[in-house]
Every structure is written in C-alpha cells, then in structure tokens.
Amino acid sequence: MKLIEKLTNTLQNDLTIIRMFVLLFVLNLVVVLPLSVKATNTFNKRNELKNKLIEIKMDMETKLDQLRQSSVVYSEALSYKNDLDIALPSDSDIQNYLVSLVETASGVGYVLTDLNINYRQVAGEVYINLKMEGAPSNIGNVIDALESMPRITEVQDITVNFNNPDDILIVVKVFVVEADS
C-alpha cells in the first residue's frame, strides 16, 4: 500500500508540476509574449528614430560645411567689391563711360558718328547703338577693343555695309549697377 500511496503522491505531484508548467505557459502566452512583441516594436521604432537622427546630424554637418565654404567664398568676394564698384558704372557716371567708349573706338581707327542709348530693356543693362565710320576690314579690332572695355558684357549686334564705310552699326550691351536711392 505504501507503494500505491507513494505512486499516487508522485502522480499528484507530477500533475501539479504539469499544471504549473501549463499555467506558466499560458501566463507566458498571455503576458510575456505581448510584452515582448511590444518591446520589439519599441526597439525597432527606437532604431528608426536613431537612424533618422543620424541622417539629420549628417545633413546638418554637410550644411554647416557648405555654410563655412560660402562664408569663405563671401569673404574672398568681398575683397573684390571695391574693384567692382570702380569697374561698374552707376547712372551718375554713365557720361564718363560714354567718353571712354568714344576714345576706344577712335583708338582703333574708327570715328563714332552717332550713338543712341536704350535704357533698361532688362534691369541693370543698357544697350548702346554705335554708328561708326571706318574700314570694314578692321571691324575685328573694334570688336576686340569694345569687348575689352570694362562693363561691356557683350557685343549684341553688328551691321556692316562693306560698300559704304560710314554705315557700320554696332550694338553693345553694358552692365549697369543701379545707384542706391
């Protein structure tokens, strides 16, 4: 009988242990598994946010480097500002510029017979129509001389009549800085 009682006690103990394992398993399914899923989701979101912060940091560092470069370029350009102010005419000294234009044309053997100024077709630009007399074969020297003058951005148009040497029309575009009011 003792053996049967011992076996019965052992069986009951085994059943109790099995019940405990089942209870722990169910508890694991009900409590631990959802918490671990939630913890995994939180961990993944944390990693995503960390990656986004790393991207933002790298972007900020890149922009800071660009800002430093821009600052250096601005500082270097600022040293040329006085030269630019001298080279670019304002409305007040356009007459002096026209005198130097006449001197340039005559320096290469052309006589300026007429000039018309078309103001502000585009903001900051003046078109000057130059009517000249001179040898049409020498037109290249005139173009070179005009384009070497400060403030002329380009020779816009050329009309040359090779039969009549006093029928040469050149249109130049001059860059003008507006005077501050």
Can you point out the beta strands (E) in 34-151? 111-119, 125-133
In angstroms, the CA 68 to CA 109 distance is 51
Q: Tell me: pLDDT of 94 over 70.
A: no
In angstroms, the CA 130 to CA 103 distance is 13
pTM over 0.75: no
In angstroms, the CA 161 to CA 92 distance is 35
Q: Tell me: pLDDT of 149 over 70.
A: yes
The first and second tokens of residue 116, run together, are 């018309």
For 4-59, write each residue's pLDDT tens digit.
777 677 767 778 888 888 888 888 888 877 888 888 899 999 999 999 999 999 99
For 103-147, write each residue's pLDDT tens digit.
888 888 888 777 777 765 566 677 777 788 887 777 788 888 888
pLDDT value, residue 179: 45
Order of strands across the sheet that contains 168-175: 111-119, 125-133, 168-175, 152-160
Query: Could you tell me if 158 and 169 are in contact, meaning their C-beta atoms sit under 8 angstroms apart?
Result: yes
| 159 against 86, higher pLDDT | 159
Query: Could you tell me if 179 and 91 are in contact, meaning their C-beta atoms sit under 8 angstroms apart?
Result: yes
- Chain mean pLDDT for the chain: 76
